[in-house]
Amino acid sequence: MRTEQSKTIYLKDYRAPDYLIDETHLTFELFEDHTLVHAQLVMRRNPELSAELPVLSLDGQQLELLRITLDDRELTAADYQLSDSHLTLQPTQASFVIDSTVRIHPESNTALEGLYKSSGMFCTQCEAEGFRKITYYLDRPDVMSKFTTTVSGDKQKYPILLSNGNPIASGSEEGGRHWATWEDPFKKPAYLFALVAGDLWCVEDKFTTLSSREVTLRIYVEPENIDKVQHAMDSLKKSMKWDEEVYGREYDLDIFMIVAVNDFNMGAMENKGLNIFNSSCVLARAETATDAAHQRVEAVVAHEYFHNWSGNRVTCRDWFQLSLKEGFTVFRDAEFSADMNSRTVKRIEDVAYLRTHQFAEDAGPMAHPVRPDAYMEISNFYTLTIYEKGSEVLRMIHTLLGNQAFRKGSDLYFERHDGQAVTCDDFVKAMEDASGIDLTQFKRWYTQAGTPRLAVSEAFDATARTYTLNFTQSCPATPGQSDKLPFVIPVELGLLDARGNDLPLRLQGEAAASGTSRVLSVTEAQQSFTFVDIAEQPLPSLLRGFSAPVKLSFPYDRDQLMFLMQHDSDGFNRWEAGQQLSVQVLQELIGQQQRGEALVLDQRLVTALRSLLQDGRLDQAMVAEMLSLPGEAYLTEISEVADVEAIHGAREFARQQLAEALFEPLWQRYQANREVSKGTPYVAEAEHFARRSLQNIALSYLMLTGKPEVLAATLEQYEACDNMTERLTALAVLVNSPFEAERGKALEAFAEHFKDNALVMDQWFSVQAASTLPGGLQRVQALMQHPAFTLKNPNKVRALIGAFAGQNLVNFHLADGSGYRFLADQVITLNALNPQIASRLLAPLTRWRKYAAARQALMKAELERILASGELSADVYEVVSKSLA
C-alpha cells in the first residue's frame, strides 16, 4: 500500500546506474513459515561515470533485514538507512562486496509478486519489480549480473529445486532437507530471475539445435497434470525450429524448462532457461481444453521461448522500453502462429481483438504511446498498447522494409546489442542501418498515442483514364498530447475491375505497371495518389491485411461491400468487407431501436451470408469468421455514445433473423460437420479447428430458433463429443437458451464431472458469467459462493468477474448501477490482496466517457468510492485517478 509514494516516473529522468553488480550469489532456505535469503553482490562503481562514489541505494520492499556486511565488515544500523523501499549506504571503494540476509514470507504473499507459494509449491514472478521483494538489489533492467542460486528445502515436500541456467551441484542436508545449485552463465537483469521448489513431475524431450547441440527440454507440472503437457512440448519444439529458420536464433543453454503454476498474475514469464507459466497457458488436451486454448498454449509457449533472444539476450534499458521486447515478441509469435495455422484467420482474430480492445484503450484515460513517457506503477503498462499495438508497429516496419531487409535488421540488432540493455531507438537504428531506409518520421508511432484516422476519397477521370485516391489523416487528442504530427501509414491496396479482378497498378510518373497489390506510404496530413491507365471506374480494396493500425473510412455502399466480400483477392479484406456491411446494418437497427421504430434487417446481409454458407469451396474457418457479427464491445467502441440496450437489442435481433432465414444451410453445415467430428478423433490442427468453428457457430445460431431438433442435436453433441471445444459450445448454447431444465442439468453434470479440474471450472464460470439472460449479476454473486471460486486465484477472478464486466455488457451496465457497485466492491477487496489484478479488473469502469450522462454519473461515483476507500495500492490509485482526471 503506497498511495503516498505514487509518484510519477519520467523517461526524461533516466540516468545510467551508479553501480553495477557483476555477480549475484543467492541462497534460499525455504521453510513453511518464512524463507531466508542470503545475497552476495559483487559490485563496482559504473566505470562510465566519474570516479566519485555516490551513496548506494538498493531497492527492497517487505524485507526483514537480519544481517548485512560490506567487504566482510558487519554493518550496524548507524552504517545505513532503511526505508519502506530502500536501503542506502556509502561505499568506500570502487569495488566491493555486499552480503545480506533477509527474512521474507512467501507463504502469505497474495500479491503474487516476488517469491510466493501456489498450491504448495514455491515460485517467483519478478517482472517488472518483484525482485526487490526477495532481496536488497539494484532492481532495474540495465543492471545485468551473472547469477548463481542455491535452493534448500524439505526433500519430501519439495523434491524438485530449480533456478535459472544449468544445474551444477546438489546434495542432502540434515533434517530431511536437500539443496541444489544452479548457475546461469548469461548476464541478466533481476526481473529474469526465477526459482521453483515443489513436488512436480516432468515430461522430458530433446531438441538438437542448428549447430548440433543437444538441449534437454522439460515441462514440470503437478503430478495429476502430467497427461496434459504433450501439446506444449510439441509447441516448444516447433518454436525452437521456427526461430532458427526464420530469425537464425539458436537456443543457448543445455536445458530449457517450463513450469506450470496455478496462481499467476499474467500469462507466463520468460525467465532465463526457466519459464514460469500460468497453468492455463501450458495444460491442454482434447477432453479439457478448447481449440482456442490449444492455440493459446502454442502461442504463449512460442512467445516466451522467443523472448530468449528478444528480451533476454537483448533486454530493455528501462521500463519505458517495454515494447522493445513485447511488441517485437508478439509480432514474432503472431507470425509463428500464422505459419503453423491459417494465416488469414490468425490475422482476422488479432485485428478484431486489437480494434475492440486496444482502440478502446487508445480512446480512454489510460491512453499512452507504445513507448510511454511517464508512469506511476509499471505493472499498469503491460497493456494492449505495449503488446498488440507494439506488434503492429513492428509489422509496419516489416511491411516497409520487406522480409529480407527486415531480417538483415534483426540480425544486426541481435549482433550489435547481444548482452546489452537497449532502447526502442536502438532497434529502429539497426533496422535503418541494415535497410538504408530512414525511419525518422516513422518513429512517431512510438511517441504519439491514439488511433490515427484515415479518411479516403476517390476521383475517377474517364477521359484521362486516371483514378485518384485522396488520403486525409488525423489523430484525436489523448491525455497530455493535444496535437499530433502525421504518421507514416503504409496502406496496402488493390483496385478491382467490374468482374472483381485486380487491375495492374501504375502510379503517375512510373514507367510501367508493377503488381496488383501495392503498399503506398501515406506520410502527410493530406496526400493523393493517382493511378494511370484505368479504363473503367474501379473499386478500391484498401488497407489489405490491415497494413496499419488505423481507423480507415471510405464511403462504400452496401452493394460494393458485398462485391468485395465475394471478389477481393485479399482474404482479410473479404472478411473486413463483411464486417463493414454488418456494422452498417447493425447501426441502422440501433437507430431504429432508439427511435422506437420496428426493426427491419437489410436482407442483403442475409443474401451475403447465405452465399457464403452455400459455397462449399470456401475455407470453413473463414466462413465461421464471416458469420460472426461484430461484437457488442466493438459496436460500443465505434459509437459516439454507446447505447447498451440498443446495441444488444439490435445485435440479438439480427442474429435471430439470420438464424431463421438461414436455418436450412446452417443446419446442413452443422450436421455435416458434426458427422465428421463424430468419426474423427480430436486433432489440434488448423483444418480441424476450421471444421469445429463452423459447426459451433452454426449451432449457436440454430439454437436461437428454439426448434426441438436443435435442442436434441445440442444435447447429443454435449453428451457424445470427445473434446472440450464441442462440449463447451453445447453448454454455452444451452446456458443462453430458454430451455431451463436442460440448462440446469447440463451445468450440474459439467461441474460434477470437472470439479477437480480448476481450468475447466474456469470455463464453467465464464460461460455463466457471459450469459446475457436477465439476472446476470445475481448469478455471478451466487457463483462467487461456489466452493471452486476464490478471489485469491487470478484465473478465477478473470473467469467470473472479468468475464461478467467485460463480456456481459447488458447485465454489467444495468441502469440502476448495481453492476458498477459490484465491480467496485471487488476492486476494493482485491486492492488489498492483489493490486495488479485489482487494477486490471477496473478497466470497464474507466470507460465512462462512452456512455450517456446517467451511466457516466453512476460509473464515476464508483470510481470516487474506490478512491475514498482507504489505502490504495499504486496500481489502483494510478488507474482510478487518471480516469477521473
Q: For binding to ligand SER (CB under 6 A), which residues are involved?
A: 127, 266, 268-270, 303-304, 326
Task: Cell 522480409: give the residue.
Answer: 403
Question: Contacts with Zn ion in 329-348 (CB under 5 A)?
Answer: 329
Pick 332 or 417: Cβ nearer ligand SER:
332
Phi-psi region of 509 (alpha: psi -120 to 50; beta: other; left: phi over 0): left
C-alpha distances (whole Å) from 747 to each of 280, 696, 729, 879 are 21, 18, 12, 36
Contact 758, 788 (CB under 8 A): yes
CA atoms within 13 A on the CB side of 470: 7
C-alpha distances (whole Å) from 851 to each of 620, 636, 641, 740 are 37, 9, 5, 33
Question: Contacts with Zn ion in 375-394 (CB under 5 A)?
Answer: none
d(CA 805, CA 811): 8
Q: Which of 193, 197, 241 is nearest to 217 (CA)?
A: 241
d(CA 214, CA 377): 41
The SS3 call for residue 431 is: helix
d(CA 38, CA 150): 10
Size of the site for Zn ion (CB under 5 A): 2
- Taking CB within 5 to 8 Å according to partner kind, which of Zn ion, ligand SER, none is near residue 266? ligand SER
Catalytic residue among 304, 432, 576, 632: 304
Contact 521, 396 (CB under 8 A): no
- Taking CB within 5 to 8 Å according to partner kind, which of ligand SER, Zn ion, none is near residue 518? none
Pick 302 or 542: Cβ nearer Zn ion:
302
Pick 268 or 809: Cβ nearer ligand SER:
268
Q: How far is the CB of 821 from ligand SER (least distance, A)?
A: 31
- Taking CB within 5 to 8 Å according to partner kind, which of Zn ion, ligand SER, none is near residue 432? none
C-alpha distances (whole Å) from 143 to each of 93, 309, 324 are 19, 18, 17
Sequence-distant (≥ 6) Cβ neighbours of residue 17 within 8 angstroms:
46, 138, 140, 142, 143
Q: How far is the CB of 247 from ligand SER (least distance, A)?
A: 17
**640 is annotated as an active-site residue:** no
Pick 195 or 386: Cβ nearer Zn ion:
386
Distance of CA 34 to the CA centre of its chain: 34
Pick 127 or 762: Cβ nearer ligand SER:
127
Cell of 152: 534448500
Q: How far is the CB of 265 from ligand SER (least distance, A)?
A: 8
Pick 329 or 423: Cβ nearer Zn ion:
329
Q: How far is the CB of 491 from ligand SER (least distance, A)?
A: 30
Q: How far is the CB of 125 from ligand SER (least distance, A)?
A: 7
Q: How far is the CB of 370 from ligand SER (least distance, A)?
A: 15
Question: Contacts with Zn ion in 808-847 (CB under 5 A)?
Answer: none
- Taking CB within 5 to 8 Å according to partner kind, which of ligand SER, Zn ion, none is near residue 609? none
Task: Cell 464486466: give the residue.
Answer: 805
- Taking CB within 5 to 8 Å according to partner kind, which of Zn ion, ligand SER, none is near residue 333? none
Stretch that binds Zn ion, among 85-93, 319-327, 376-384, 787-795 (CB under 5 A): 319-327
Pick 308 or 693: Cβ nearer Zn ion:
308
- Taking CB within 5 to 8 Å according to partner kind, which of ligand SER, Zn ion, none is near residue 269? ligand SER
- Taking CB within 5 to 8 Å according to partner kind, which of Zn ion, ligand SER, none is near residue 127? ligand SER
- Taking CB within 5 to 8 Å according to partner kind, which of Zn ion, ligand SER, none is near residue 426? none
Pick 163 or 329: Cβ nearer Zn ion:
329
Binding pattern for the stretch 581-600 against Zn ion, x by CB under 5 A and - elsewhere: --------------------
Cell of 43: 559490485
Peptide bond into 535 cis (omega under 30): no
Q: How far is the CB of 164 from ligand SER (least distance, A)?
A: 15
Task: Cell 462467487: give the residue.
Answer: 784
Stretch that binds Zn ion, among 63-71, 318-326, 682-690, 778-786 (CB under 5 A): 318-326
Q: Which residue is nearest to ligand SER (CB)?
A: 266
- Taking CB within 5 to 8 Å according to partner kind, which of Zn ion, ligand SER, none is near residue 677? none
Sign of CA dihedral 106, 879, 638, 641: positive
Q: How far is the CB of 382 from ligand SER (least distance, A)?
A: 6
Helical H runs in 770-817? 776-783, 794-797, 803-807, 809-812
Pick 257 or 266: Cβ nearer ligand SER:
266
d(CA 380, CA 147): 28
DSSP-derived secondary structure letter, 870: S
Q: How far is the CB of 381 from ligand SER (least distance, A)?
A: 11
- Class of residue 110 by CB neighbours under 10 A (exposed 0-12, middle 13-18, buried 19+): middle
Q: Which residues are catalytic?
A: 304
Q: Which residues bind Zn ion (CB under 5 A)?
A: 326, 329
